[in-house]
Amino acid sequence: MTDKKKQSKKSQDLNKGDEVTWKTHGSTTEGQVEREITERTEAAGRTVDASPDDPQYEVRSEKSGKSAVHKPSALHKK
C-alpha cells in the first residue's frame, strides 16, 4: 500500500467529535476533531492547503481550548 493510500485510509477513520492525541513541543496533547478540511481555506489562524486526496483536520486542544490543523498522520485516536 502506498503512503497516499495509507493516509487516505487513515483519514477515513477520523470524524468530527473523535478524541485524538498529537505531539506538540515534546509532549502529547489531547483534543477533539472539529472538522475535516478538503480544500484551501483559512483555519486556526493560517492558510491550509488541503484537498480531498490530501485532507487535514482542525482539532481543538482540551487543555488550552485553541485550534490547530494537522495532517491525519499526526493524529492518533484515543
Digit-coded pLDDT (tens) for 56-72? 999 999 999 999 999 99
Digit-coded pLDDT (tens) for 8-32? 444 458 999 999 999 999 999 999 9
C-alpha to C-alpha distance for 49 and 46, rounded to whole angstroms: 10
Number of domains in the chain: 1
Query: What CATH code is carried by the domain that includes residue 52?
Result: 2.30.30.1060
Can you give the residue range of the structural domain that contains 45? 3-77
What band does 35 get if pLDDT is binned at 50, 70 and 90?
A: very high
Residue 13: the pLDDT is: 85
Residue 30: the pLDDT is: 98
- For the entire predicted model, the pTM comes to 0.82
